[in-house]
Amino acid sequence: MDNHKPSKELFVPVERQENEGEKIARPSLSFWQDSFMRLRKNVGAMIGLATLIILILMAIFGPYMNQYGEFEQDLGRAKMPPKVEGLGWLGMDGTLSATMSGATVEQATTNANMRFNNDEEFIKTSVVSDGSNGEPAQVKAVYDVYAAKDMNDQSFWFGTDGLGRDLWTRTWKGTRISLYIALLAAAIDMVIGVAYGGISAYYGGRVDNYMQRIIEILMGIPNLVVVILMILILEPGIISITIALTITGWISMARIVRGQILKLKNQEFVLASRTLGAPDNRILRKHLVPNVTGLIVINTMFTIPSAIFFEAFLSFIGLGLPTPIASLGTLIDDGFKSLQIYPHILLFPAIVISLIMIAFNVLADGLRDAFDPKMRE
Amino acid sequence: MTRYILQRLGYMIITMFLIATFTFFLMKFLPGTPLSAADKLSEEQQAVVLEKYGLDDPVPVQYFNYIVNLTQGDLGISFQFDNREVTTIILERIGPSMTIGVQAMIVGTILGMLLGLVSAIYHNGFLDYGSTFIAVLGKSIPSFVFAGILQYYVGVKLGWFPVALWGTWQHTIMPTIALAIFPLAIAARFMRTEMLEVLGSDYITTARAKGVNKFGVVFKHGLRNALIPLVTVLGPLAIGLVTGTLVIENIFAVPGIGEQFVKAINTNDFPIIMGTTLLIAFLFIFIILVIDLLYGVIDPRIRLAEGE
């Protein structure tokens, strides 16, 4: 049996090193670094983030990129279609087109010309179908608006609205105002929600009970109705819309924060801090709230798009910002009025608002996955 | 359970009362009386008009009368439409709202569930990405933008369905689609997550091992279990639908409650604003109550948690 025992020479004493066991093989990552690493791997979220950054930069610098002012009206250039040099193939060549039908080709051509004030010099017509198959003849007319108005030296990248205001400038100004309202509303929601939820959960007992009953009643009131009624008495404006949005907006934040703090407040680190004599206020600010930051960020990211939606929605039902201020909502509302003939007025603000909403939603989804410890490999 | 229902009903009454009070005093703050447009009337005529609307009493008396009438289902007379009861005006508008609301809910949830199911079955495949993309778009794109696209391309360009107004079943199609896109997106996302979880559980492996075919596993064993938590999203869905109808009805000129509400706001018709507000609030609270109760019935675990 002795043969099976390994000989002592095989064993070499390991040189003893200080702190060997304490050494960390990989660089330590804070919660935020770790989350950000995971976020970076999420392609969708990164695209969303990039889109948002571009849109925010455009909202800041876009209005200064051409010479037209936000409120510069000129009926002589009303409802100009969009025109960008070099982007003609995208349909942004400064022309309007329409397909008109008539009994014969001539009839259809006349109709098509009439559609654009018989300005025949600048209308190109082409026959779509000559009516030989028994159906009405169809003629497509393309009207070069810029040439007709002798404005070939100018170009409105997004076109102009019914009062001749440049839509490029107005769209980005509007984006700025919509983002401003949304960010402000989200920030106020966050502050009120975190304070309310935190206090309610931390003090517990009767305080919690009363505070929760209040929330339960408020929850039952549809926020849409409250927002509309508030706007009715407050007179539409940036601040009043923000206030109306925050009146019920903080509730979901308060509920989420309360739930988390209820879980956290009995943990040892809170007890330790309390034993060391920290006042409630310090425990809340320094120990509890930082531990729910992830959730707060996610919830705020979901609040922002809904605030943008509500702002646009208010404009849509006629309770939005007063004219001539542009916001995405008022622009879209304007666009609907001439949707059939001049769809470009609706198109660009609609694209911008959709992009903002999609980007925020995708980014918020990505953040939720990144902050969720269960997703950690 | 009975105690819970009673408690919830109590809250419901308190909430409705608060909303009624809140709206009443809000309306008192607002400028404008039924006389605004007709100030050429003589003193006596003005007094007659004010009396007709009960506006000659002091505010507390008006409030008392309002609440008493409210409990009897009397919402007063419209300012805008002569001598018409608000209750009748609103009641005849419930139909169209319900039609598109219910259609959208059915179409949206069923299609959404199918989409989510496909997503889960072909997890991380091409179909999964496709349907996730649709769900993100549906959740993000504002309803009025989507409705605008529909109206322009399907209504104006293609001319498949009437652009707006109400009457035949064709008129209901575009509003229904526009309204259904939100429930569709929510249901799809939710279904995908739930189904993935269910398909990964042990009893599915057991069923597979016993030789149940894929179809049977997904529909018989998987779907039923994934359906239970779907009830949880019905609440946000219902809220989305109520908001949605306000927008959609206005875009497609559907003579429903939402359209009446916006019209009343723009014409300062206070009794109708109050009536529609209360109706919308009531629907909202009622839907949430029903869903919360359903919850407990479907999943005993939730019932226990509520009972503590």
Nearest to A332 by CA among A82, A161, A91, A92: A161
Q: Tell me which chain A residue has its CA closest to the CA of residue B20.
A: A221
Q: Tell me which chain B residue has its CA closest to the CA of residue A313.
A: B247
pLDDT per residue as tens digits for the range B76-111 = 777 766 667 777 777 887 878 888 888 888 888 888
Query: What confidence score (pLDDT) does residue B304 get?
Result: 46
Q: How far apart are CA B242 and CA B284, in angstroms?
A: 8
Q: Collect all residues of chain A within an 8 Å Cβ-Cβ radius of residue B139.
A: 361
Q: Are strands A123-129 and A137-144 parallel, antiparallel or unpaired?
A: antiparallel
**CATH class of segment(s) B94-257:** mainly alpha
Query: What confidence score (pLDDT) does residue A192 get?
Result: 92
Task: Indicate the domain borders of chain B.
Answer: 94-257
Query: What confidence score (pLDDT) does residue A81 get?
Result: 72
Whether the ω angle into residue B255 lies within 30 degrees of 0, i.e. cis, is: no
Contacting residues for B85 by C-beta, under 8 A, at least 6 apart: B74, B75, B76, B77, B78
Query: Could you tell me if B151 lies within 8 Å of chain A, comparing CB atoms?
Result: yes
User: From edge to edge, which strands make up the β-sheet containing A123-129?
Assistant: A95-102, A137-144, A123-129
The conformation of residue B211, written as its DSSP 8-state character, comes to T
Q: For an interface test with B, give the residue of A140, A178, A232 to mutate (most B CBs within 10 A).
A: A232
Contact between chains at B148 and A332 (C-beta distance less than 8 A): yes
Q: How far apart are CA B79 and CA B53, in angstroms?
A: 8
Query: What confidence score (pLDDT) does residue A376 get?
Result: 45
In chain B, the N- to C-terminal Cα span, in Å, equals 11
Q: For an interface test with A, give the residue of B25, B140, B189, B274 to mutate (most A CBs within 10 A).
A: B140
**C-beta separation of B86 from B272 below 8 A:** yes
Query: Could you tell me if B148 lies within 8 Å of chain A, comparing CB atoms?
Result: yes
Name which residue leads in pLDDT, A71 or A88: A71
pLDDT per residue as tens digits for the range A303-330 = 888 888 888 888 877 777 777 778 888 8
Beta-ladder partners of A144: A95
Q: In B199-227, which positions are buried (b, 16+ CB within 10 angstroms) versus exposed (e)? A: beeeebeebeeeeeeeeebbeebbbebbe
What distance in Å separates residue A377's CA from the closest CA in chain B? 18
A233, A316, A332 ranked by CB distance to B29: nearest: A233
Q: Tell me which chain A residue has its CA closest to the CA of residue B275.
A: A225
SS3 B161: coil
B137, B140, B273 ranked by CB distance to A305: nearest: B140
SS3 B269: coil
**C-beta separation of A146 from A83 below 8 A:** yes
pLDDT per residue as tens digits for the range B188-235 = 888 888 888 887 888 888 888 888 887 778 777 777 777 777 776 766
Locus of tokens 């903080």: A250
Contact between chains at B281 and A222 (C-beta distance less than 8 A): yes
Least confident of A250-264, B55-69, B80-94, B153-167: B153-167
pLDDT per residue as tens digits for the range B164-196 = 677 676 677 788 888 888 888 888 888 888 888
